[in-house]
Structure 1
Amino acid sequence: MFSILPILVFSICMGLVMPAAADSAPRGYQLNETPHKHGFRYTNSGEPVRRGRVAERFEVRNGDCGGSDCRAPRYRSEIRLSKSQTQARVGQDIWYGWSFYNESIPAFPDNVNLMPVMGQWKMGGDNLPIFKLTYHGGRKAIEVQLDDMARAKGWGKAQRHGHVCSLIGLNATTGRWTDFVVNTNFSTQSDGYLRIWVNGYLKCDYKGPLVATTSTRLYPGPNHRRGIFVSFTKRWDKLKGKTPKPTMVAYYDEFLVGQSREDVDTRLRAKSGLPAKD
């Protein structure tokens, strides 16, 4: 059993100053295999912001990699919650909310799909994500994939390799803000649930186990990462040769963790007159 800890609502922008050319991760976060100066910063004047003064900007360019990613090969611009700020626990209810703006992540065709990931939760290290928001080339959509369960249960084509929900077409997120709300209990049992609202509409209502790997050696519970994570680079190289992979840019804003939808839902918070979490 994991002890129940109080969940404090907190913001991606807590304690920020005006953005600079290259910024450190927000308070309570760490850069995750993101050594390049262009990889992460806060927005400058004129760039997209959902609410308040600033948002987070992520960029990945052809050839970017850091740490173990360089041997994979894969690359990313990503931040992760620190161990002390990881509030999720296996088997306990939790809510997340944030806004996402796709500037230039393209709708790759399947044969060269780099399968960009725009948010993931995992137990850290080499463990597979419990769930991630990833682009599916065939359906041209951001989908929910349960990687950890798919491997543990041997889910194959019949189970769509763990793709349990299709959330929104990737092109529908380009040049505009998309609001996400997640409610889950990260359960290992049949009482598990994962509900995701997109722009106020329920788009995922999965019921069943979510977590197979429960080791707390690295984190006390499921650890959140966001940004742009790119893999499956070999399929591009096979068909495109030395053609550079496209530069991808995305923005995130108002990322919140809490005990209820009212704590984290950007739209509800704005409607209630609650301030932006800068």
Structure 2
Amino acid sequence: FMSHHDHNFQYIKDKKKARAGKYYQRFELRDGDCFGDDDGGWSDCDTDRERVEFSTRPRQPITKNQCYGYSLMLSKDFIDTHPTNVTLGQVHQHGGPKGTAEGLASFPPLIQIDAREGSLYFNWHELSGSATNVIDKSRYHKLKSLEDMKGVWTDISFCLDFKNKRMDAWVDGIKKVEILKSPIFFKPEAIYFKHGIYRSFISKYKARNNGKMPTQIVFYDEIRRGNSIEKVDVNINPKLKRVD
């Protein structure tokens, strides 16, 4: 697990602002907010990254249908940091393949929900090669304009169907993505969901903007996991209980 500063995370009680219920989560990432693992095995500071993220437990097996859903809101002054990538939710692998990305060590995820070039994208990592020298190709599918996500809640949901070898994603209950391929090429030990703000290859943006990253603020609510879309998306299943 990584450390964080006090400003990086707040659990806020405000029924009027929450997507549902009384509470929601606030993440803030500032220039220089990078940390390392407690065991010293990884450091974002040494690998051109910044982040504040939470990882969920328990992890999920590579079987049947694994679905995830959450509500996301960008601050009204949110800045798109392209060509630096910003990830706002991802499904990562435990015991998955490894390799390099732009000369740095890389342990690729399966899915990233990325804010880049003015839009939010479903980024499927199509992996090939070998388990120790993986080839990672991002396949981007547009979900929603970032401008339309500022100051309003957006509901994101997606399913990784390992049994039927397909992936589907929804925005506000409307299907936006349908990929008729297996989510995996290598079989990891398990997968797990992470959420927060994760910026990778920050030097790209800094080189164009006086060597500094902007502060970014993002809000989360109603984070769910289940084995069907009906268990994670309140637009598709209005009977879902609120998450507080």
Short-chain TM bin:
0.7 to 0.9
Match of 1:233 among 202, 222, 230: 202
Alignment of 1:116-195 (within 5 A): 116-124=86-94, 126-137=106-117, 140-147=118-125, 149=127, 154=135, 161-186=137-162, 191-195=164-168
Q: Indicate if the aligned counterparts of 1:98 and 1:266 stay in contact, CA closer than 8 A.
A: no
- 2:208 counterpart SS class: helix
Alpha-carbon distance in structure 2 between the residues aligned to 1:204 and 1:34: 34
| SS of equivalent to 1:38 | helix
Aligned match of 2:234: 266
Which whole-Å CA distance do the structure 2 matches of 1:173 and 1:151 have between them? 37
The letter for the 1-side match of 2:10 is R
Secondary structure at the aligned position of 1:167 is classed as: strand
Aligned partners of 2:162 and 2:146: how far apart in 1?
Answer: 26
**What is residue 208 of structure 1 aligned with on the other side?**
181
Question: Are the equivalent residues in 1 in contact too, given 2:14–2:22 (CA < 8 A)?
Answer: no
Q: Check 1:150–1:168 CA distance in 2 against 1; reply closer, same or farther (3 A cut).
A: farther
2:35 aligned to which of 47, 63, 66: 66
1:130, distance to aligned residue in structure 2 (A) = 0.7
CA distance in 2, matches of 1:105, 1:211: 33
SS in 2 for 1:239: coil
Please give the per-residue CA displacement for 1:156-203, whole angstroms capped at 9, x wherever unaligned: xxxxx422411111111111000112121246xxx4211011011100
Say if 2:8 and 2:52, in contact at 8 Å, map to a contact too. yes
Q: CA deviation at 1:60?
A: 0.4
- 1:101, 1:124 → 2: CA distance? 28
What is the TM-score of this pair, normalised by structure 1? 0.73
The answer (yes or no) to whether the contact 2:15–2:23 under 8 Å persists in 1 is no
**In the alignment, is the contact (CA less than 8 A) between 1:96 and 1:264 conserved in 2?**
yes
Matches of 2:148 and 2:116, distance apart in 1: 14
For the residue of structure 2 that corresponds to 1:241, the secondary structure is coil
Shift of 1:69: 0.4
CA distance 1:199–1:105, change in 2 (3 Å): same
Aligned-residue identity in percent: 24
| Matching residue of 1:11 | none
Q: CA deviation at 1:135?
A: 2.1
Q: How high is the TM-score relative to the length of structure 2?
A: 0.82
Whether the aligned pair in 1 keeps the contact of 2:221 and 2:243 (CA below 8 Å) is: no
Aligned partners of 1:151, 1:41: CA distance in 2, in Å?
41
The two structures, once aligned, show a CA RMSD in angstroms of 2.4
Q: Deviations over 1:215-248 (max 9, x none)?
A: 32xxxx1111011100121112322233x32111
Question: 2-side partners of 1:147 and 1:105: how far apart?
Answer: 26
Report SS of the residue matched to 1:184: strand
The count of residues paired between Structure 1 and Structure 2 equals 224
What SS does the corresponding residue of 1:99 show, helix, strand or coil?
A: strand
Q: Summarize the Cα distance change of 1:168–1:45 in structure 2 as closer, same or farther, 3 Å threshold.
A: same
Q: Retained in 1: the 8 A contact 2:120–2:144?
A: yes
Q: 1:168 to 1:151 in 2, by over 3 A?
A: farther
Cα offset for 1:72?
0.9
Structure whose residues are more often strand by fraction: 2
Return 5+ residue gaps in structure 2 as ranges: 37-42, 96-105
Question: Quick check: 1:128–1:148 contact (8 Å CA) kept in 2?
Answer: no
Q: Deviations over 1:126-173 (max 9, x none)?
A: 520111111232xx2111222352676857xxxxx4224111111111
Quote the Cα distance in structure 2 between the aligned partners of 1:254 and 1:48: 13
Number of the residue aligned with 1:198: 171
Q: Judging changes above 3 Å, is the alpha-carbon distance between structure 1 residues 151 and 208 closer, same or farther for their aligned structure 2 residues?
A: same
